[in-house]
Structure formats: C-alpha cells, structure tokens
Amino acid sequence: MPLIGLTGGIAAGKSTIGRRLEALGATRIDADQLARDAVEPESPGLAGIREAFGAEVIAADGTLDRPALGQRVFGDPEQLERLNAIVHPEVRRLARVRVDAVTANDPDAVVVYEIPLLVESDATLPWDLVVVAEAADDVRRERLVSIRGMTPEEADRRLASQASNAERRAVADVVIDTGGTEAETLAATDALWSDIRAGLVTRRGTTGG
C-alpha cells in the first residue's frame, strides 16, 4: 500500500491534486479535517488544550472557542508552539489510525495524505512518496488576493509564515508545477497516477523499469 504525502504552500493547488488523485482511485486523508477532529468535544486534544490554556478557551457547548484560543496564540510563538505540541501529535495519531483502517480494508489501496504543514510540523509517517504542489510566490499571492479576498499585505504575511518552496523541494520526491492552468495541473497529476500504479515512481524521484 503506497502512502503518499501531498503538501504545498497556501494557494499552491495541492487540493486540486488531492481531489484528482481521489477521483482516480486513491483514498484521500485531509490533515485539516484531522486537525478539527483532534479537538472535538471529549477528545484528548481538547482536554490537553483546556489544561494548557484554561477553561476560557472552551465554549459553553463544550466545543473549542477558536477565536478565544486564537487571541492567546496569535503573534506569540511560545504559545503557538505550546498549542502545536498538543495538536500535532494527536493529528499524527489519528492519521495513523486512518491509514491502518484503510490498509486493513484494502492492502493494495493508494493513500494520499494531504498535509499542508508536512515540512513545518516535521511529520514522521513512513512515506513511500512525497509530492509537492509548487507555484511561484507571486502566483500564489495573486490567487490569495483575487480568489480568497485577502489584502496584498495579508497574503504576504501568510506566505511568509510558511516554509519556502526550496524547503519543500528538499523533501520532495515529485514536484508538480501548479503555476499554469488547472488543466495542466490535472494532466500532470494523471501522469503521476499512471506512474504510481505502474510502480515507476519511488522515493527521491527515481523511476523503475
């Protein structure tokens, strides 16, 4: 069962790649959804947040009060690191549970784990392949402004807060250029899928056959 780590910076098009691979037959796991699951009511993650940050970050209905927590950690690297130390291990645990469940059900499944912060969070799952969606910063900035409605300044802050393209390339086995049209990104994803199914792509971008 190939386990593929799919990552890329904000507005780099990784979800376009992930959805395409899912449509082609892969099982897709979304790290953002796992991060939400990790802090559901009565979860170990939420209990850890309550212990670390106090009951004031828990809403009256028992859910995480995200704005209240954001006020505590935004702009405070120490507090943000404290939060990440609680949430990231729980997300990794949930990911492992999901991967194991897929494997038990279908040993031949191709699993794509879409994880925006693969580099930043030092994810340690046993990847068979790391795929990076990459577009130049100016392309991503334009997408953030024109599609997501951010100001140029906000877009720049978001880009600066993440790993660089060079840092992602350092861990990549395959890089898909997403700076062109969506059709070009999908065509490159289709080609990657064909190579994966044929066993032609392995770690560090080498090919078999």
19 plus 115 within the same structural domain: yes
130 plus 51 within the same structural domain: no
Place of tokens 């780099």: 12
Kindly state the tokens that stand for 166.
Answer: 């060079």
Kindly state the tokens that stand for 157.
Answer: 């802050």
134 plus 88 within the same structural domain: no
Average pLDDT of 166-181? 94
2 plus 16 within the same structural domain: yes
What span, in angstroms and rounded, lies between the C-alpha atoms of 186 and 196?
15
Neighbours of 209 (CB within 10 A): 6
173 plus 192 within the same structural domain: yes
- Predicted TM-score of the model (pTM): 0.85
Residue-averaged pLDDT of the chain: 91
- Whether residue 94 is contained in a domain is answered as yes
pLDDT digits (tens, 9 = 90+) for 2-58: 899 999 999 999 999 999 999 999 999 999 999 999 999 999 999 999 999 999 999
117 plus 204 within the same structural domain: yes
207 plus 154 within the same structural domain: yes
- Whether residue 18 is contained in a domain is answered as yes
Average pLDDT of 187-205? 85
203 plus 115 within the same structural domain: yes
8 plus 93 within the same structural domain: no
Tell me the residue range of the domain where 58 lies.
38-107
67 plus 162 within the same structural domain: no
Q: How many domains does the chain have?
A: 2
20 plus 69 within the same structural domain: no
What CATH number should be reported for the domain holding residue 122? 3.40.50.300
Query: Which of the listed residues 107, 134, 149 is the one where a domain comes to its end?
Result: 107
- Whether residue 31 is contained in a domain is answered as no
Cβ proximity of 110 and 99 under 8 Å: no
Say yes or no to pLDDT of 207 above 50. no
Cβ proximity of 49 and 83 under 8 Å: yes
Q: What percent of the chain has pLDDT over 90?
A: 76
pLDDT digits (tens, 9 = 90+) for 104-158: 999 999 999 999 888 887 666 789 999 999 999 999 999 999 999 999 998 998 8
pLDDT digits (tens, 9 = 90+) for 102-111: 999 999 999 9
Kindly state the tokens that stand for 125.
Answer: 């799952």
85 plus 166 within the same structural domain: no
Strands 129-134 and 174-177: parallel
Of the candidates 59, 29, 67, which has an alpha carbon nearest to the alpha carbon of residue 41? 59
Average pLDDT of 166-178? 94
- Whether residue 8 is contained in a domain is answered as yes
Band of residue 201 on the pLDDT scale cut at 50, 70, 90:
confident
Cβ proximity of 17 and 42 under 8 Å: no
Kindly state the tokens that stand for 15.
Answer: 């979800």
